[in-house]
Amino acid sequence: MVGDPHPSDTQWVEGLWTAIPEPKARIRLCTGKDIRSALDEVATTLLRAPRRPAEHAVGNHAHEGPNGLDADGGPDSSQEHSRRTGPEQAGQSADPADHSSHAEHDERAAHDTHSGHAGHDMGMEVSGLPMADRGDDRDGLRLDQLHIPLGPALLDWPAGLVLRLSLQGDVIQEVRVELTRVLRCSSLPFWDEPWMRAAAGEQVTRGQAARRLCAAHLDSVGRLLAVAGWSTEAQRARAARDVALADWAASDVVAAVGPLVRRVGRSRTLRRLTYGLGELSTNAAATAGVSGPAWVAGGDVWSRLSLWLEEAAHSAALCDETRPLDTVQRRTGPRGTVGGTSPPSQALLDVLPCLLEGAEFAGARLILASLDPDIDELVPAGVAEVPHG
């Protein structure tokens, strides 16, 4: 974790640490401390940690990792989602694997890892777990209603974001968005940095902005593919992102991005998985103040993913441009208009409850990943820094 949680909001950090099975090691990185030596210290501590029997080390979580993954690190293929069957659970890597188990395990991980966030004004708790209460469903019937927190620290999740969900069966009835508090820092949001520097009067080239835009979209693509269960292409997206950030020539970035765009764009399984999820029309997005890809795409999860891929491929070819940004380009960041009265990610969070309410729980993380709000944007420069997972 990078960043300093606020002293009044550290319960989730302790809960996360408690949920990690042995052997484990924990250090605190202070400003100016050498990261390499700190990581060496972690390795040494792990090697010297006393070994305990597996059943005592992990308790009831002997077969489940911190984010609902099996001990071998792969998605649990014992459960299936009614929307589709993923080939990767049979050892194929052509398309995304089954996602329902990932979502179900996230639910359990939310109980175990973030129980400190459960039950705040959302029902009673027993042993840290929220009890179901009653509520009206969409047909007017009184059914059991379960309150579940997701976040603020999950794999492939916007670090610092907490979603409090009210579920009836597998349908989300209500969503409440919260953010963790952190201490102050003067860093600019990483993904918006070129455009914020340009707004402050610095000269930023089109190539610099295109490189950061390409990397930002590839980072978002990698997160969405990981949530969908397509780990091989998620790794390729992140590798291409690193190429873009490493200042390689535009031709190298294009060579890294091209195959990913073609492979993901041709995936019929991924298209079926994401079709109709989280529909946000252009008019609805504009009314909610949403800009950037979520507004331009004007559709579902698949539409937003397709636009990310398209813009990443286009930006990759511009990475060597030396002309300065024009007036319009200075305001167009990866998630929308930069430098307005409100950061673009705030509008994405504002519209999120409308997209999640009424959706199935198994699709919630795909919808969130297709918006991919940058929590860093919500903290003004020079005021605070949000922790990164």
Say what the pLDDT of residue 17 is.
85
pLDDT band (50, 70, 90) for residue 1: low
Selected residue with higher pLDDT from 41 and 61: 41
Say what the pLDDT of residue 190 is.
92
Distances (CA, A) of 6 to 115, 168, 304, 344: 18, 33, 34, 24
Say what the pLDDT of residue 325 is.
92
Type of residue found at 67: N
Say what the pLDDT of residue 201 is.
87
pLDDT tens across 288-321, in order?
A: 999 999 999 999 999 999 999 999 999 999 999 9
Say what the pLDDT of residue 115 is.
41
Say what the pLDDT of residue 38 is.
82
- When pLDDT is averaged across residues 194-222 and rounded to a whole number, the result is 95
- When pLDDT is averaged across residues 114-118 and rounded to a whole number, the result is 40
Selected residue with higher pLDDT from 316 and 115: 316
pLDDT band (50, 70, 90) for residue 36: confident
Least confident of 1-15, 169-183, 300-314: 1-15
What residues contact residue 4 under an 8 Å CB cut-off, 6+ apart? 182, 183, 185, 385, 387
Selected residue with higher pLDDT from 234 and 136: 234
Percent of the residues in the chain that have a pLDDT greater than 70, as a whole number: 70
How far is Cα 21 from Cα 57, in angstroms, rounded to an integer? 6
pLDDT band (50, 70, 90) for residue 57: very low
Say what the pLDDT of residue 158 is.
94
Q: How many CA atoms lie within 13 A of 230 on its CB side?
A: 29
Q: What is the mean pLDDT of the chain?
A: 79
pLDDT tens across 234-268, in order?
A: 999 999 999 999 999 999 999 999 999 999 999 99
Selected residue with higher pLDDT from 277 and 4: 277
